[in-house]
Amino acid sequence: MRAFVSSLLGVLALVTAAVAVPGLWVERNIVDESGYVALADSLAEDPAFRSELASTVSEGVLRGAGVDGVRRQLAEPAVRRAAEGMTELSGFDAAWSEVNRQSHRINVTDIPPAELDGRLGVDLTPLVTLVADAANQRLGTNLRAPGDLVVAVGTPEQRTALDRVRDITAWSWAALAVALVLGVAAIVTARRRGTALIVMGAGLVVLAVVEQIAAVSGGGLVVDQVAQSAGFGRALMEQLHDAVVASYGLWMLVLGALGVVSVVAGVVVRVRT
């Protein structure tokens, strides 16, 4: 009977952990504003993404400034050069962080702008202002940056899914506490605690591997669903997917390491008893 109870508690602990750990990662890196800004900070390092970003920002500057005809022909080369080299501008890092901060707010915490029609969005306004100022310095003109430039990404269904995930992650800490209690109870009630530690540790290692595989493959499907066509939206989602996989992979390494420690502890207990 004790063996059955211990096994049941162990399975419940692993199942609960399988829900709690991803939830905690999402809460820390997606729902939390500072966590998301840190996660997205390195996205602009990719050349392909920078190219799409420069194209979107330069077009936003030209369209927002309302230039056309000869004036556009004169302004466009300077604006595009400024956009293509904006990562080298002194204010880029601050502007990029502000882009991610404002984008997080309209997607997670604030009411989204009406022009998004319920979709996810990226607020590129800080970069538009940066590029417009740089182009004005080169041209000696006064191009007016648009009031804002918010690029829609994905569909309303994806935004609804994000809202649901945000609500669910509020219970992640409670789920982790339950998983820990169940895990300890499984070990305490086991007849052979060394064996219980080994099994629990092996379960954690398997869990870490499975969840990392799910993050890699599932993330690719999300990219295809959110951004079905080429362009800025897809380039952004591809880079964000890579950042998510790398960050989540570190969490899974820690989880797997805890599993290895549990296995080693179980072996030691069995040898001594």
Give CA–CA dist 209/75, Å, rounded: 53
* 3-state secondary structure labels for all residues of the chain: CHHHHHHHHHHHHHHHHHHHHHHHHHHHHHHCHHHHHHHHCCHHHCHHHHHHHHHHHHHHHHHHHCCCHHHHHHHHHHHHHHHHCHHHCCCHHHHHHHHHHHHHHHHHHCCCCHHHCCCEEEECHHHHHHHHHHHHHHHCCCCCCCCCCEEEECCHHHHHHHHHHHHHHCCHHHHHHHHHHHHHHHHHHCCCHHHHHHHHHHHHHHHHHHHHHHHHHHHHHHHHHHCCCCCHHHHHHHHHHHHHHHHHHHHHHHHHHHHHHHHHHHHHHHHHC
Give residue-wise pLDDT tens across range 189-240: 988 888 889 999 999 999 999 999 998 887 766 666 665 566 888 888 889 8
Residue 193 pLDDT: 84
- Residue ranges per domain, the chain? 2-32+172-272, 47-161
Q: How does pLDDT run along the chain (273 residues), one tens digit per residue?
A: 777 888 899 999 999 999 999 999 999 999 999 999 999 998 888 898 999 999 999 888 888 666 666 666 777 788 888 889 998 989 999 999 999 999 999 988 877 777 788 888 899 999 999 998 888 887 777 777 667 888 888 777 888 888 888 888 989 999 999 999 999 999 999 888 888 899 999 999 999 999 999 988 877 666 666 655 668 888 888 898 899 999 999 999 999 999 999 999 999 988 887
Task: Please tell me the pTM assigned to this model.
Answer: 0.88
Residue 152 pLDDT: 86
Q: Dihedrals φ, ψ of 216, to 5°?
A: -70, -50
Residue 69 pLDDT: 67
Burial of 168 (0-12, 13-18, 19+ CB in 10 A): middle
Give CA–CA dist 205/139, Å, rounded: 59
Residue 227 pLDDT: 57
Give CA–CA dist 217/244, Å, rounded: 12
> In b/e form, how buried is each residue of 44-55, taking b as 16+ CB within 10 angstroms?
bebeebbebbbb
Residue 14 pLDDT: 95
Query: Residue 123 pairs with which residues in a beta bridge?
Result: 150
Give CA–CA dist 189/268, Å, rounded: 18
Q: Dihedrals φ, ψ of 151, to 5°?
A: -95, 125
Please report, as a single letter, which amino acid is at residue 195.
Answer: T
